Amino acid sequence: MQYLRLILVNVVFLGLSYYLGKNVFIGLKTGIIRYTYSQKICKRNERPFFYWFLVILFTTIICFCIHLAFNCSIDVLNKI
């Protein structure tokens, strides 16, 4: 059961980190960042404050997800 928890947590949190990281990387490269599943975009030239807010928000979520995945992995491996 502990291995299942380890796998599920890492897949969910690292998958979300990958998805958001790809969005941030493409957004920084092109100046256009997607922010919903309905394909809404924010352009750096048109709305700079909201663009940088999204970049900071997404990178904060990425750091939080990686932190949770790492802590859960350490917790599960210590219990085994």
> Could you state, in order of their start, the residue ranges of all structural domains in the chain?
2-75
Q: Cβ(42)–Cβ(51) under 8 Å? A: yes
Q: Which two tokens stand for residue 17?
A: 């980190």
Q: What is the pLDDT of residues 19-70, one digit of tens each?
A: 999 999 999 999 999 888 767 899 999 999 999 999 999 999 999 999 999 9
Q: Which two tokens stand for residue 5?
A: 């928890």
Residue 38 has what pLDDT? 65
Strand partners, 33: 42
Hey, is 61 helix, strand or coil?
helix
Distance from the Cα of residue 30 to its chain's centroid: 19
Strand partners, 41: 34
